Amino acid sequence: MKKLIGCLAAFCALLAILYMVFSDKDTSSVEIKAVDGVLDLRELTDRSMLISLAGDWKFTSDSYVPPTNFKNESMNLQVPGPWSSDSQWGSYQLIVYLPDNHSDIGIRVRNIWSAHSLYVNGKKLSEYGKEAPSKQEMSPDNRPYEIYITPDSNKLLITIHVSNFYNARGGIVFPIDIGDATLMKEDVQHDIMIEWSAVFCLLLFSVFHITIYLLRTKDEAFLYSGLYFMMLSILIMTRGERLLLREFPSIPFDFFFRLQDSVTFLSVLLLIAFISMMFPLIIHKRAMFLLYLPITIYTFLNIILPARTVSGAQYVFFFYGSLIVIIAIVRIFYMTFRHQINFSRNEALILGLTLLFLVLSSLSGSFDSLFFNGRNSLNRIGLVGFVLCMNIFLGMRLMNRAEQSEQLNARLEKANKAKDDFLKVTTQELQQPLHDAVNLIKSTAREEHKVKQGEQLYLAEQIMERMVYLLRDLIDFTRIRFDDYGAIELGSTNVRMVVLHVIQLMQLTFTKKKIQIYEQVPDGFYVWADKQRLTQVMLRIMTEISLDTVESSITIDSIIVGDSVQIRFTTVRATSSTYADRQPSSGLMMTEEIMHQMNGNFTLERTESKLSFTLQLTFSEYKNPDVLSERDSDIQVAATVEETELAALLIVEDDVMHAEVIRGMLNNTYRVHIAYSTQEALSYFEQHPKLLTMIIDDILPGSKSGLQLLQKIRKHASLMELPILMMTSSEYPGYIEEIFAAGANDYLVKPFSKETLMARLNAVEQTKIYMSKAIEHEMAFLQTQIKPHFLYNALSSIISFCYTDGERAAYLLTMLSSFLRYIFETSRDGQYSTLQKELEIIEAYVEVEKARFGERLSFSYAIDPAIATDNVMIPSLLLQPLVENAIRHGLFEKEGPGQVQVTISVHGAHLHIQVVDDGVGMSAVQCAQLMGEAPANAGIGFTNVRRRVHELIQGHLEIFSLPDKGTTIHLKFPIKEGQFHVESSYRRG
């Protein structure tokens, strides 16, 4: 009932507002127009109407016609409307025939640019400004006014002398009304009252919004909206009835119109700023600056230049400002319906509707000024709609904020209760295991029998690992109570591996309670689940069963039902006691919530003789596990290490205790060294380049972080040469991307178990082995690419020299032997060689080729003296294929002599190598094909070089070539000195 009364009251108030706004006299209802300078109203019988003196007026340009002389031969000019652009002064004349029953009449003038005098039947009734034929003599003034007269006859000759040297549009640009004097006064007072009411409302809005900003300065949008409402109120006072001039008639012409134009466009700037602050995603800062710029410049010109100097562009900027707001409205509605806006949908829609009404008011006002109807109801509708919608917006915003505050208060109360529950559960759940662990450790210290010590340590290990999962349960419990559950990372998870791990954790409990386990889960069942959370769920179920079961059995099996997998834990007891005697623990509530988070279901069936738990998860795939379990991989790595010398592993961690714990996990598998700072780590790395693996913490003391240390090491050792694991406490996707971008092979999230650590280390080391073998196979493949015709031609040339020049033949045989030995021994010696050795093999190859080309082939190289070629390492067979390509594809097809030059220089920490030939060259298309992802015409040697430059040494390769001008290949890569060399073959220690 109260709501109905409120709606009725609001409806009545709206009707009253609409009546007040639209109850004035509308001259557009009378369609009588002046024709050929004459307006005949003698047939008009309704004296309650106001008539617009619209139609054809007589206009005499560049002449002030005597007010008593009607100049019938003058041209007709449509009024309201501007005169032609070449007119600057002249006379308007109109004959009006009043009805026979006329009485006192009123004449209402709204806008005549820029100075005028008004005469009726030869008598001057008003003068504003001083009209004159030149700007120097003229004095401008333009204000609305009314005059009231008692005519002697029903014929009126209205003459208006006008001059305009200021505004872009001159003459009578708004309608002149005539009608009964009493009605005219009432209509003027009504219009003035409406405009003052609008000003009052807008100033109230302005004070309200600015007050909100002052109380909460973070909400800058209210500052801009408050200033906008203030500008809008000033705008109403300077347009329409020009209330400011009516209230303060002494305001100078220049100041008034500067104020009017400046406020008009300042309001547009403030509106754009308000929208951008309310919806930051609507307008980007750069776009907002570009949108601001034209209006800002135009506003500045209006302020500093004399009034109406740039009025010719006024209407262009009117529509430009409206267009910006329209675009913003469209963006608001679009982003609201696409859910791309961080804003209440109802608030966004109401604000968009508010701006729509504002645009309607602005556009209708602009069209009113352009087409001079003087009575634009759309302008009023837009203004009323704007005020009402803004009221609704503020009320809705207040309502939404109140609801949010109530929700936050409820969540705060819930969080406070969750805190109490968390402390209670923590005390209950953790107290006993902690005491048990402490007592076990004390007992172990006193125990002299080594076998019993081992049993007690194993028991302590089981307790502590179960406590890890218990702590995760408690964290999840708190999040559930606070409705802020963490994100679940679903992946394809092997069900049996998780089941076996949980059985291992519970093995001691089941053994002591004489509970038999019948595990019947197939090896190949994979489900979509978070492996860690699934382990928590199963451990909680097994703990629940162990509390209810003694001397019984548990059957664990799984079946596929549709697109899901059901995992069942069932136990049967022959005793008469019921399970209902015991209430389920709070952990089952967490189990159910976790299952829901993994898009699964959890059901519990409890009877007098049976307890059954069923987990249902989405089926992922069925396959035979092709990797060892974490525990088996740990055993395999340990067994492998026993047969060989322990490999070196560097841990970089500033937490001494944590570093020692990791050392304890790895002591039987690796030769572990610990560095506590980045400088210590770099120093150890330089002295021990044959490290197998590094483990780096992402947060380290000093000037360099763990990521910066990683980037520094990657300048000397590639991903394959030195696998590096990064330890981190954050699993945010963006941060993990940064870790991999810096050069990590993998990462570990703290805290982690020994099994996880060993599995990750084994994975990166196995990857290193496989990559090394792949490179060895690739180098062997390259050896097979020595073309038979090269050997045939080389041997043929040497044989020919045997008959003519024995020494030359022996020299060439030596060069060919050196070349072939280097090629065949590359894979055995490793994937790197010294720069000196690579140059020697190039010389050997060129000497063999010279035997065929003779004087046509010229080869030279230039090396920076600062380069120690014996110590700089580069990938084997990196340069020789490039020189071979230059000779065979560049010079072989060229007529006449050709030259190949190799230039090697150092710039900073990078080695620059150029292979230049003056052969036949290539087109841009051919160069692009060679540098493409899968070049069709590139040889195996060049493709291999390009790939190794990018992947192995993080370098860059470019080709510059022009047809008939030659080709230049430019290599750039970090300098790798011999002391940092790590061979490709897999060695530990």
> Which residue did the predictor score with more confidence, 368 or 618?
618
Res 620: pLDDT = 87
Which of 126-135, 495-504, 828-837 is least confident?
Answer: 828-837
What is the Cα–Cα distance from 592 to 614, expressed in whole angstroms? 11
The answer, yes or no, to whether residue 216 has pLDDT greater than 80, is yes
Res 412: pLDDT = 78
pLDDT band at 95 (very low <50, low <70, confident <90, very high): very high
Res 722: pLDDT = 82
The answer, yes or no, to whether residue 520 has pLDDT greater than 70, is yes
Q: What is the mean pLDDT of residues 419-428?
A: 61
- Coil vs helix vs strand at 690: coil
Q: Which long-range contacts (CB under 8 A, 24 or more apart) does 502-505 make?
A: 502/535, 502/538, 502/539, 502/542, 503/542, 504/631, 505/462, 505/465, 505/466, 505/469, 505/539, 505/542
Residues near 359 by beta carbon (within 8 Å), at least 6 away in sequence = 322, 325, 326, 329, 382
- Coil vs helix vs strand at 319: helix
Q: What is the mean pLDDT of residues 940-951?
A: 66
The answer, yes or no, to whether residue 935 has pLDDT greater than 50, is no
Q: What is the mean pLDDT of the chain?
A: 77
Peptide bond into 723 cis (omega under 30): no
The answer, yes or no, to whether residue 899 has pLDDT greater than 80, is yes
Query: Under a CB-based contact definition with an 8 Å cutoff, are residues 689 and 760 in contact?
Result: no
Res 36: pLDDT = 93
The pLDDT tens digits of the residues spanning 836-859 come to: 877 877 777 777 777 667 777 788
243, two tokens: 């209330």
Residue 227 backbone zone (phi > 0: left; psi -120 to 50: alpha; other: beta): alpha
The pLDDT tens digits of the residues spanning 773-799 come to: 666 665 555 545 544 545 555 565 566
The answer, yes or no, to whether residue 283 has pLDDT greater than 90, is no
Query: Under a CB-based contact definition with an 8 Å cutoff, are residues 492 and 526 in contact?
Result: yes
111, two tokens: 């806008």
Question: For the whole model, what pTM was predicted?
Answer: 0.48
> Which residue did the predictor score with more confidence, 242 or 876?
242
The answer, yes or no, to whether residue 62 has pLDDT greater than 50, is yes
Q: What is the mean pLDDT of residues 504-532?
A: 82
Rounded (10°) CA dihedral 697, 699, 702, 705:
80
- Coil vs helix vs strand at 94: strand
pLDDT band at 105 (very low <50, low <70, confident <90, very high): very high
Query: Under a CB-based contact definition with an 8 Å cutoff, are residues 757 and 666 in contact?
Result: yes
Res 177: pLDDT = 92
pLDDT band at 576 (very low <50, low <70, confident <90, very high): very low
Q: What is the mean pLDDT of residues 681-708?
A: 78
Peptide bond into 114 cis (omega under 30): yes
Q: For the chain, how big is the Rg over CA atoms in Å? A: 46
Q: What is the mean pLDDT of residues 559-568?
A: 89
Res 625: pLDDT = 62
Q: In three state form, how does the secondary structure of 397-442 look? A: HHHHHHHHHHHHHHHHHHHHHHHHHHHHHHHHHHHHHHHHHHHHHH
Q: Measuring CA to CA, how many Å separate 521 from each of 493, 506, 509, 603, 630?
A: 13, 17, 21, 19, 18
Query: Under a CB-based contact definition with an 8 Å cutoff, are residues 933 and 947 in contact?
Result: no
pLDDT band at 466 (very low <50, low <70, confident <90, very high): low
Residues near 60 by beta carbon (within 8 Å), at least 6 away in sequence = 71, 74, 75, 90, 91, 93
> Which residue did the predictor score with more confidence, 574 or 38?
38
What is the Cα–Cα distance from 515 to 519, expressed in whole angstroms? 13
The answer, yes or no, to whether residue 988 has pLDDT greater than 60, is no
The answer, yes or no, to whether residue 377 has pLDDT greater than 80, is no
Read out DSSP for 202-230?
Answer: HHHHHHHHHHHHHH-TT-HHHHHHHHHHH
Peptide bond into 881 cis (omega under 30): no
Which of 444-458, 796-810, 879-893 is least confident?
Answer: 796-810
pLDDT band at 989 (very low <50, low <70, confident <90, very high): very low
The pLDDT tens digits of the residues spanning 794-810 come to: 565 566 556 555 666 67
Res 985: pLDDT = 29
